[in-house]
């Protein structure tokens, strides 16, 4: 898969290891958005669920949004005229979400190193919707699990989880097992020894 190889190569070329637990990709996703990288990632994540109908692509504010949008572009090209919506959970509650009009869940931000809450308007995901949960990273699984809990609160169905980078040594997949949905990652970081990002061979799994 050319695109999968290219995604992994871009992480090797531009990513940086920070200590033995942090992958810095702020020139690709987390600070400066490389739209080509997001487009490649969105195309491959959409390919993972290409045989299933998707109603909503859900992510968290803010780094997952660009990937979610490009995922939707590919998904919607294939299932038109029944497009999927892009929804992102907010990390603060705006006044447009009145009391009783939203779901909330506690999570933890690794990049900010503090607890956060995620908020989802009760009107943005219909009951019974088929949801593809997408984010930039899977490490310990806290953010993705929180998104999964919001889907459960909305009485919708998780079709799959999809992430751009997975730090396999932090066992985040185990945190997501309770949802009974497949997990797909495009870049699998297996170690950060010696200040080098070590990747597993590319695979869409």
pLDDT, one tens digit for every residue, the chain (205 residues): 699 999 999 999 999 999 888 999 999 999 999 999 999 999 999 999 999 999 999 999 989 999 999 999 999 999 999 999 999 999 999 888 888 899 999 988 766 677 889 999 999 999 999 999 999 999 999 999 999 999 999 999 999 999 999 999 999 999 999 999 999 999 999 999 999 999 999 999 9
How many structural domains compose the chain? 1
Residue 7 and residue 37: Cα distance in Å, rounded? 7
Range(s) of the domain holding residue 174: 2-199
Report if residue 37 sits inside a domain. yes
First-to-last alpha carbon distance for the chain, in angstroms, is 13
DSSP annotation of 30 reads I
Report if residue 108 sits inside a domain. yes
Report if residue 111 sits inside a domain. yes
Report if residue 205 sits inside a domain. no
Q: What is the pTM of this model?
A: 0.96
Q: What is the CATH number of the domain that holds 177?
A: 3.40.50.2020
Report if residue 177 sits inside a domain. yes
């Amino acid at each position: 898969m050319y695109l999968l190889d290219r995604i992994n190569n871009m992480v090797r070329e531009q990513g940086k290891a920070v200590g033995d637990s942090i992958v810095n990709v702020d020139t690709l996703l987390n600070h400066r958005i490389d739209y080509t990288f997001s487009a490649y990632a969105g195309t491959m994540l959409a390919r993972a669920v290409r045989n299933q109908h998707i109603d909503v692509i859900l992510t968290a504010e803010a780094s997952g949004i660009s990937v979610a949008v490009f995922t939707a572009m590919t998904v919607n090209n294939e299932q038109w005229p029944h497009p999927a919506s892009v929804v992102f959970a907010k990390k603060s509650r705006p006044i447009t979400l009145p009391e009783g009009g939203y779901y909330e869940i506690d999570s933890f931000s690794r990049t900010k190193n503090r607890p956060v809450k995620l908020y989802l308007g009760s009107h943005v995901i219909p009951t019974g919707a088929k949801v593809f949960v997408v984010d930039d990273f899977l490490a310990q699984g806290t953010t993705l699990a929180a998104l999964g809990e919001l889907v459960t609160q909305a009485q919708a169905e998780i079709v799959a989880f999809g992430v751009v980078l997975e730090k396999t040594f932090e066992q985040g997949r185990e945190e997501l097992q309770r949802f009974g949905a497949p997990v797909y990652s495009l870049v699998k970081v297996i170690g950060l020894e010696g200040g080098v990002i070590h990747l597993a061979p590319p695979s869409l799994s």
